[in-house]
Amino acid sequence: MDNLTTQFTIKDEGSFQVALMSIKKIATEFDYNDTQVAQFLTAASELARNIIKYAGQGCIQIRAVNKGSQQGLEIVAIDHGPGIEDTSLAMQENFSSGGSLGQGLPGAKRLMDEFSLASTVGQGTQVRATLWR
């Protein structure tokens, strides 16, 4: 796989499910094992669900990445929603400002090998997460 980025617009349940189906195909073709495919997809699901819930719409990008001899797929979730005031608080288990259970972001972090969160209030949020093969 080359380092092309595939981008999916996330704006409602329909686009969410279409994106997940395509991401499943990408993860399977990347030669992740079944468990890794499920982990990657579940993390993508968490991030896409967060986009719909907090920002209304945004996008998910998937690309192949390398670090030394490691190869993996990276998910980048981008939205231009309200942003997160306290990102460390948002990463705590069971914290939520949106009335949900607040386990989406920390849950996605647990599933992936690398995870970073950047957010600016009033401008949006970007989550970057990688699962090595």
Partner 1 sequence: MSTIQTPLSPSVLTRFKYDILQRLEQEKISYIFFDFSGLTVMDIYEFKEIENIIQMAKIMGSCSVIVGLHPGVVASLVLYDIDYLSLNTALDVDDAFTRLNIETS
Shortest separation between residue 37's beta carbon and partner 1, angstroms: 6
Alpha carbon 32 to its chain centroid, in Å, reads 17
Task: Report the residue number, 24 or 80, with the smaller CB distance to partner 1.
Answer: 24
Task: Report the residue number, 42 or 87, with the smaller CB distance to partner 1.
Answer: 42
Shortest separation between residue 84's beta carbon and partner 1, angstroms: 18
Residues 11-30 as b or e (16 or more Cβ within 10 Å = b):
eeeebbeebbeebeebbeeb
Taking the C-alpha atoms of residue 30 and residue 133, their distance in angstroms, rounded to an integer, is: 8
Nearest CA among 109, 99, 114, 105 for reference residue 79? 105
Shortest separation between residue 42's beta carbon and partner 1, angstroms: 4
Shortest separation between residue 123's beta carbon and partner 1, angstroms: 25
Task: Report the residue number, 17 or 66, with the smaller CB distance to partner 1.
Answer: 17
Nearest CA among 62, 88, 89 for reference residue 76? 62
Taking the C-alpha atoms of residue 133 and residue 127, their distance in angstroms, rounded to an integer, is: 20
Task: Report the residue number, 20 or 129, with the smaller CB distance to partner 1.
Answer: 20
Interface positions with partner 1 (CB under 8 A): 13, 16-17, 20, 24, 34-39, 41-42, 45-46, 49, 100-101, 103-104, 107, 110-111
